[in-house]
Chain A
Amino acid sequence: MQTAVANANEIHGHDTHHGADHAHHELSFIRKYIFSTDHKVIAKQFMAVSLFFLFVGGLFALMIRWQIAYPGSAIPLIGNILPNSWVSDGAVTANFYTQLLTLHGTVMIFYVIIPLAVGMFGNFCIPLMIGTDDMALPRLNMFSFWLVPPAGLIMLSGFFYDSGTAAAGWTGYPPLGPTSGPGQTTWLVSLFMIGFSSIMGGTNYMATVLNKRAKGLQLLQMPLTVWALFITAILITLGTPVLAAAIAMQICDQYLHTGFFMPDNLLVTAPDNTYVTNAFIAQGNQLLEHKQLLGGGGQPILWQHMFWFYSHPAVYIMILPGMGIVSDVLSTFARKPIYGYKAMIFAIMAIAFLGFIVWGHHMFQSGMNPLLGTTFMLSTILIAVPSAIKVFNWLGTIWKGNIRFTAANMNALAFIATFIIGGLSGVFMASAPVDIYIHDTYFIVAHIHYVLFGGALFAIFAGIYYWFPKMYGKMLNENLGRKHFYWSFVFFNLTFYPMHILGVGGHMRRIYNPYIYEFLQPLQPMNQFVTFAAIILGFSQLILVVNILWSLKYGKAAPRNPWQSNSIEWSAPAHPGHGNFDTDIVVYRGPYEYSVPGRESDFYPQTEPPSENEVPVHSGH
């Protein structure tokens, strides 16, 4: 201990000095709970904000579903209390419907999945799992969170414009995007802010993993959650700025009337405005009458390239942390080492790398050069290889394991199942000839929900059940947890599986009223079935909310290591305070030494010193 004290005193520089002496003096309420620099508090803040947005985005989804199942009929309960600009006779108007679609996608991706997977777990897990006291740059971390609530409010504020909020889809394609009203601007500004928040977070995660690992912890001894978050941080820092540039260009197209994404000779008539690009537009010798003159010479497809250059890696930003979490949860509850630890890491890296060169598969039908389509098709199908490596390794991990069916583990197992379905439907769309048929149908809606809800969100649930004891010092109620899982899993599949069939039947996505297409009418009972399943799925999430609130108040106090897990965070006190650990952390081995032959207990924490007569375990396998 003497050397430890000496070390602490030796630490110089402004970067580290506050970590040591904050343990003593009390922080004010505001600094402790609101503008906190403690990574655990920031993680909880991300969790609260994102769960709120999960509720909002879910509500949007249910309103959308109601309109598709019963076009023109009043939404039960809330239909008659919504303002008249949104609903007529309690039913969603067409304009409001497209706004709901746009905001459902945007909110769920940028304000729910990314902040939960990256903001919450990145903040909570990284410092604890690498055995350090906080992030590399705690204040930057605080700023990265405090951009999120204002960005979210700006996003929602769009609804209160007369012309409504963004309605160009979550992809915001031009020319529709830049010729929309001010709602599109709030959407763009909000995305720019949350992107900036992501970049600050990603920068911080990378610096933390590289610089702040506990004594003895090699890179190849880090849990897969940390590895996944680290690679995700790389995706964020390299992908998000390109979207930021594209957003800046679209804002300019809208307000400065530049022509980055607006082609020449374009005439758009919106309800309240007529937009004409470039003065070449003339009939005979007469210029067309117009209210506004936009610059031309740009290309709408350019936006698509820039947008998907970020937004394809973004799907890996959303799923990779989940993959990491699932790996740790499965290994812990199968009481077995993760199968193929290094292969798992290389698979994450391969997915991340390939993720940057496949964006064109969103654009097979955009008018892009078909030759390019072939390239993107090949690189996309290649992603199936590392993905399959991961799936087989998870199966190898639970193979003949001593599986404990905790709520966390059940969600992790569900992740594998749904990810396989979502992954396989992805291969369909990756193949350009097949995609031509199923493009823009409910098949793709089914696919994205299988990977984002079934994949990312189930992994997030697994993570919440797994780390809740360390976050709040209380155990979640296992019984309620299992109920939440069963209801979610069953009704998730009942909601989204039929969408595959709808899609193959030719049901277009984003349509307002399926009744106007005669060929869709036989599918309408299935649409109504999906809607009822979705409503039950939505209400099942209340079990999670109740569970969290109940357990916070009445839950059993959590022990230090409730799951007999190996990784470093379980060496911290049951409810760690600022500074995280009460002992010095020295790491002796990798995180997956479960059921080591010859040991009495079936786990072997990373921080437990080896006994003297023991052959040291070879690190990282």
Chain B
Amino acid sequence: MSGLSLSHEPVTGVPNGKLAMWIFLASEIMFFTGFFGAFIVLRNSNLELFSHSAGELNKGLALLNTFILIGSSLTMALSILNLEKGNTAKFRLFLGLTILCGFGFLIVKTIEYTTKFGHHIFPWTNVFFSFYFIMTGFHALHVIAGMIPMFFMFIKSFTKKGYNYPTKVETLGLYWHFVDLVWIFLFPVLYLIFPSH
């Protein structure tokens, strides 16, 4: 029975999990496209409100977060590279750095949100801020969702067996780069493309 070779090498040459991740990312693109599309429509009908409100956002903190996320993509890539080479200590180091960057991003985000609340700006203040909170909020949820498996891998790498599934880390890396990329779109669209008042 177990002699059957039904479970052969993937036909495309891409491991199953990784292929599914690519497909899932296409789905994720459509998810954020929903928000971006709605944003474009309502921006055009509320142009003045949007540019006025966008002026209240903190570009500096957003820029900082951009660097943090891009940095985390670099450390993620380095951790994959090191695991593939079998350099587990460096894998652990870079994965840990990635998690730290994730926390850093979330902390900066929290500062941003609480300052907004302090200025009496809430999701229901106006439709621009509705978009600001829901888009950055869902993005932050994606950051958290990526950090959870990272955390498990990080903990497991301390056990006796260690963590030695480069394909899984690479698949997670794909997701992480995607989350990074979403921010690369969110940053200009929400913070930059409006003339400041």
What is A's interface to B at a CB cutoff of 8 Å? 1, 3-5, 7-8, 11, 13-16, 19-21, 23-24, 131-133, 136-137, 140, 199, 202-204, 206-207, 210-215, 237-246, 248-249, 252, 256-260, 293-299, 302, 305-306, 579-585
Partner of A19, one of B6, B127, B138: B6
A16 and B15 CA atoms in complex are apart in Å by 10
Is B134 a contact partner of A133 (Cβ separation < 8 A)? no
A14 CB, min distance to chain B CBs, angstroms: 6
Is B23 a contact partner of A258 (Cβ separation < 8 A)? no
A256 and B127 CA atoms in complex are apart in Å by 12
Closest 8 CB pairs of A and B: A245-B34, A258-B130, A241-B31, A297-B127, A136-B16, A7-B5, A257-B124, A211-B10
A257 and B134 CA atoms in complex are apart in Å by 12
Is A249 a contact partner of B4 (Cβ separation < 8 A)? no
Within 8 A of A (CB), among B1-27: 1-12, 14-17, 19-20, 23-24, 26-27
What is B's interface to A at a CB cutoff of 8 Å? 1-12, 14-17, 19-20, 23-24, 26-28, 30-35, 37-38, 41-42, 45-46, 49, 122-127, 130-131, 133-134, 138, 165, 167-168
B53 CB, min distance to chain A CBs, angstroms: 10
Partner of A133, one of B6, B11, B125: B6
Is A258 a contact partner of B3 (Cβ separation < 8 A)? no
- From B1, B6, B27, name the one whose CB has the most chain A CB atoms within 10 angstroms: B6
List 13 A-B residue pairs with CB atoms under 8 Å apart, sorted by A's residue number: A7-B8, A8-B5, A203-B24, A207-B19, A215-B5, A242-B33, A248-B138, A257-B124, A259-B127, A298-B127, A579-B6, A582-B1, A582-B4
Name A205's closest neighbour in chain B (CB-CB): B23
Partner of A203, one of B27, B34, B35: B27
* A242-B30, A244-B31 known; A132 vs B3 contact (CB < 8 Å): no
A246 and B45 CA atoms in complex are apart in Å by 18
Partner of B49, one of A1, A15, A199, A297: A297
Q: Note all chain B residues with C-beta closer than 8 A to A213.
A: 11
Q: Note all chain A residues with C-beta closer than 8 A to B8.
A: 7, 11, 215
B33 CB, min distance to chain A CBs, angstroms: 7
Is A581 a contact partner of B6 (Cβ separation < 8 A)? yes
Q: Note all chain B residues with C-beta closer than 8 A to A23.
A: 1-2
Q: Note all chain A residues with C-beta closer than 8 A to B26.
A: 237-238
Partner of B31, one of A24, A242, A582: A242
A5 and B126 CA atoms in complex are apart in Å by 66
Is B3 a contact partner of A1 (Cβ separation < 8 A)? yes
Is A299 a contact partner of B41 (Cβ separation < 8 A)? yes
Q: Note all chain A residues with C-beta closer than 8 A to B38.
A: 245-246, 249, 260, 302, 306
Is B11 a contact partner of A212 (Cβ separation < 8 A)? yes
A172 CB, min distance to chain B CBs, angstroms: 15
Is B20 a contact partner of A207 (Cβ separation < 8 A)? yes
Is B130 a contact partner of A240 (Cβ separation < 8 A)? no
* A8-B2, A297-B46 known; A242 vs B126 contact (CB < 8 Å): no
A131 and B7 CA atoms in complex are apart in Å by 10
How would you classify the secondary structure of chain B's contact residues: helix, strand, loop or mixed?
helix
Is A295 a contact partner of B27 (Cβ separation < 8 A)? no
Partner of A298, one of B4, B15, B23, B42: B42
Q: Note all chain A residues with C-beta closer than 8 A to B17.
A: 15, 137
Given contact pairs A4-B3, A258-B133, A293-B124, enumerate 15 new A-B contacts (beta carbons under 8 Å): A7-B8, A13-B167, A14-B165, A15-B15, A15-B17, A19-B6, A136-B20, A140-B20, A246-B34, A248-B134, A248-B138, A257-B124, A260-B134, A297-B42, A306-B38
Q: Note all chain B residues with C-beta closer than 8 A to A581.
A: 4, 6
Is A295 a contact partner of B126 (Cβ separation < 8 A)? yes
Is A258 a contact partner of B4 (Cβ separation < 8 A)? no
Name A6's closest neighbour in chain B (CB-CB): B5
Is B27 a contact partner of A237 (Cβ separation < 8 A)? yes
A92 and B30 CA atoms in complex are apart in Å by 41
Is A211 a contact partner of B11 (Cβ separation < 8 A)? yes
A140 and B23 CA atoms in complex are apart in Å by 14
Q: Note all chain B residues with C-beta closer than 8 A to A199.
A: 24, 27
Partner of A302, one of B15, B42, B125: B42
Is A15 a contact partner of B16 (Cβ separation < 8 A)? yes
Name A11's closest neighbour in chain B (CB-CB): B7
Name B30's closest neighbour in chain A (CB-CB): A241
B54 CB, min distance to chain A CBs, angstroms: 14
Q: Note all chain A residues with C-beta closer than 8 A to B27.
A: 199, 202-203, 237-238, 240-241
Q: Note all chain A residues with C-beta closer than 8 A to B6.
A: 19, 131-133, 214, 579-581, 584-585
Partner of A241, one of B28, B46, B131: B28
A276 CB, min distance to chain B CBs, angstroms: 12
Q: Note all chain B residues with C-beta closer than 8 A to A258.
A: 123-124, 127, 130, 133-134
Q: Note all chain B residues with C-beta closer than 8 A to A206.
A: 19-20, 23
* A13-B167, A199-B24, A252-B123 known; A8 vs B41 contact (CB < 8 Å): no
Q: Note all chain A residues with C-beta closer than 8 A to B11.
A: 210-213
A212 and B10 CA atoms in complex are apart in Å by 6
Q: Note all chain A residues with C-beta closer than 8 A to B12.
A: 210-211
Q: Note all chain B residues with C-beta closer than 8 A to A4.
A: 3-5
Is B4 a contact partner of A584 (Cβ separation < 8 A)? yes
B36 CB, min distance to chain A CBs, angstroms: 9
A141 and B4 CA atoms in complex are apart in Å by 23
A496 CB, min distance to chain B CBs, angstroms: 34
* A203-B23, A211-B14, A245-B35 known; A294 vs B124 contact (CB < 8 Å): yes
B63 CB, min distance to chain A CBs, angstroms: 26
Q: Note all chain B residues with C-beta closer than 8 A to A259.
A: 124, 126-127, 130
A213 and B8 CA atoms in complex are apart in Å by 9
Q: Note all chain B residues with C-beta closer than 8 A to A207.
A: 16, 19-20, 23
B17 CB, min distance to chain A CBs, angstroms: 6
Is A24 a contact partner of B3 (Cβ separation < 8 A)? no
Name A140's closest neighbour in chain B (CB-CB): B20
Q: Note all chain A residues with C-beta closer than 8 A to B32.
A: 245
A249 CB, min distance to chain B CBs, angstroms: 7
Q: Note all chain A residues with C-beta closer than 8 A to B14.
A: 211
A337 and B46 CA atoms in complex are apart in Å by 58
Name A239's closest neighbour in chain B (CB-CB): B30
Is B20 a contact partner of A204 (Cβ separation < 8 A)? yes
Is A260 a contact partner of B130 (Cβ separation < 8 A)? yes
